[in-house]
Amino acid sequence: MKLLVTGGCGFIGSNFVRYVLKERPEWEVVNLDKLTYAGNLANLRDVEIHPRYKFVQGDIADAGLVEELFAQEQPDVVVNFAAESHVDRSILDSTPFIETNVKGVQVLLEAARKYRVERFLQISTDEVYGSLGEEGYFSEEAPLRPNSPYAASKAAADLLCRAYYKAYGVPVVITRSSNNYGPYQFPEKLIPLMIRNALLGKELPVYGEGKQVRDWLFVEDNCRAIALVLEKGRTGEIYNIGGGCEKRNLEVVHSICRIVADVVRKPVEVILSLVKFIPDPRGSAHDFRYALDCSKIKYELGWQPSVDFEKGLRSTVDWYLRNQEWVESIITGEYYEFYRKVYGTSVSH
């Protein structure tokens, strides 16, 4: 089976490409990636000459390029990871989010329709459901109530997928996962940002009081779920993928502090003193809590998360410690500019 994976040079995409090459010896991967600030060839350096892997640089919103690629490669299935993925950036400027997350998906769906792919897997997010209070869970039937431009662009893509399934019979499946963490995540997201800053002795900027709740999923568990949905998921269906591991942001930051203190052999108080509460840059677009009802994927496909959060977090800290060169190599001046815009000049970076 030939997979067209888009956004394979990003965080989840690169973990998925590596997972598939290892776990599915019959599958070939063509990776289409624009190489934005979040996409790095270094994320797949170890497989770049793999006989079942091919990289193509390009934009999913470029209809000519996408058409040419489908004609040339004739993929059996599409797995679309490509997206602008950071909520804070979407609040600063929603334009690239609409271009990639909405227009790009429409371009891919058109090509999938024309070239009659066997499956189109759209990688979506729990953020499309909006925010929960202290109680309750979102099932796949929950209404879409996105609160940030990022979430709105992902919800729009999900609706386009539904429409292409209903109107043209494109064999679409959607996964909506909770917050992923693990190796190769760009250090703009909570966990890698806090790990990098803690290792460098920089401030740890917590939005508001750090009371928001996220459900953490180790990236390899998500990759396993995505591969299963690709193989066995029912066409036209949506599958939630959650870690079943709800934590307040401050709890996560404190766990990182404890692990980093242990690893670098410093008193935990020294690392904890780096925590700095800052005015919430997301304002009322900051969702309080996400939590998913994952009974559908559990009972239909037999999937459940396998990595315990403390173990996954420790292995992630270890990975960032061993790969500090990678972290610094993917950070450019653009990162510092973005950092100043979100965190202001009073937070060290």
Q: Is 135 a known active-site residue? A: no
Using CA atoms of 217, 36, 147, 343 in order, give the dihedral in degrees to the nearest 10. Answer: 90
Catalytic residue (one of 28, 59, 127, 188): 127
Query: Which one among 14, 106, 125, 131 touches ligand DAU, defined by CB under 6 A?
Result: 125
Q: Is 318 a known active-site residue? A: no
The strand pair at 28-33 and 53-57 is best described as: parallel
* Whole-number Å distance between alpha carbons of 60 and 123: 14
* Interacting residues of 195 by C-beta distance below 8 A, sequence separation 6+: 187, 256, 260, 316, 317, 320
Which residue of this chain has its Cβ atom nearest to ligand NAD in the complex? 10
Query: Which one among 180, 240, 255, 316 touches ligand NAD, defined by CB under 6 A?
Result: 180
Binding pattern for the stretch 134-173 against ligand DAU, x by CB under 6 A and - elsewhere: ----------------------------------------
Query: Which one among 34, 103, 119, 214 touches ligand DAU, defined by CB under 6 A?
Result: 214
Tell me which of ligand NAD, ligand DAU, none is bound by residue 119, counting a contact when its beta carbon lies within the kind-specific cut-off of 5 to 8 angstroms. Answer: none
Per-residue burial over 154-173, b = 16 or more CB atoms within 10 Å of its CB, e = otherwise: bbbbbebbeebbeeeebbbb
* Whole-number Å distance between alpha carbons of 193 and 236: 36
* Whole-number Å distance between alpha carbons of 346 and 229: 45
Question: How many residues can be counted in the chain?
Answer: 349
Q: Which range binds ligand NAD by CB under 6 A, 57-65, 191-199, 285-293, 301-309? A: 57-65
Catalytic residue (one of 19, 53, 129, 150): 150
DSSP 107-129: HHHHHHHHTT-SEEEEEEEGGGG
Q: Does 153 bind ligand NAD (CB under 6 A)?
A: no
Q: What is the C-alpha radius of gyration for the chain, rounded to an integer number of angstroms?
A: 19
Per-residue burial over 248-259, b = 16 or more CB atoms within 10 Å of its CB, e = otherwise: ebbebbbbbbbb
Q: Could you tell me how many residues of this chain bind ligand NAD (CB under 6 A)?
A: 31
CB of 194 to ligand NAD, least distance (A): 15
Task: For Cα atoms 150, 152, 156, give the angle at the middle one, nearest 5 degrees.
Answer: 120
Q: Is 126 a known active-site residue? A: yes
Tell me which of ligand DAU, ligand NAD, none is bound by residue 331, counting a contact when its beta carbon lies within the kind-specific cut-off of 5 to 8 angstroms. Answer: none
**What would the two tokens of residue 245 be?**
């591991």
Query: Which one among 82, 160, 253, 342 touches ligand NAD, defined by CB under 6 A?
Result: 82
Q: Does 290 bind ligand DAU (CB under 6 A)?
A: yes
Whose Cβ is closer to ligand DAU: residue 211's or residue 322's? 211
CA 231 vs. chain centroid, Å, equals 21
Q: Which range binds ligand DAU by CB under 6 A, 23-31, 80-88, 108-116, 320-328? A: 80-88
Q: Using CB under 6 A, which residues numbered 232 to 291 contact ligand NAD? A: none
Whose Cβ is closer to ligand DAU: residue 15's or residue 178's? 178
- Which residues sit at the interface with ligand DAU, rule CB under 6 A? 85-87, 125-127, 178-179, 189-190, 193, 205-207, 210, 212, 214, 249, 290
Residues that bind ligand NAD (CB under 6 A): 6-7, 9-13, 32-36, 38-39, 59-61, 81-85, 100, 104, 123, 125, 154, 177, 179-180, 186
Catalytic residues: 126-127, 150
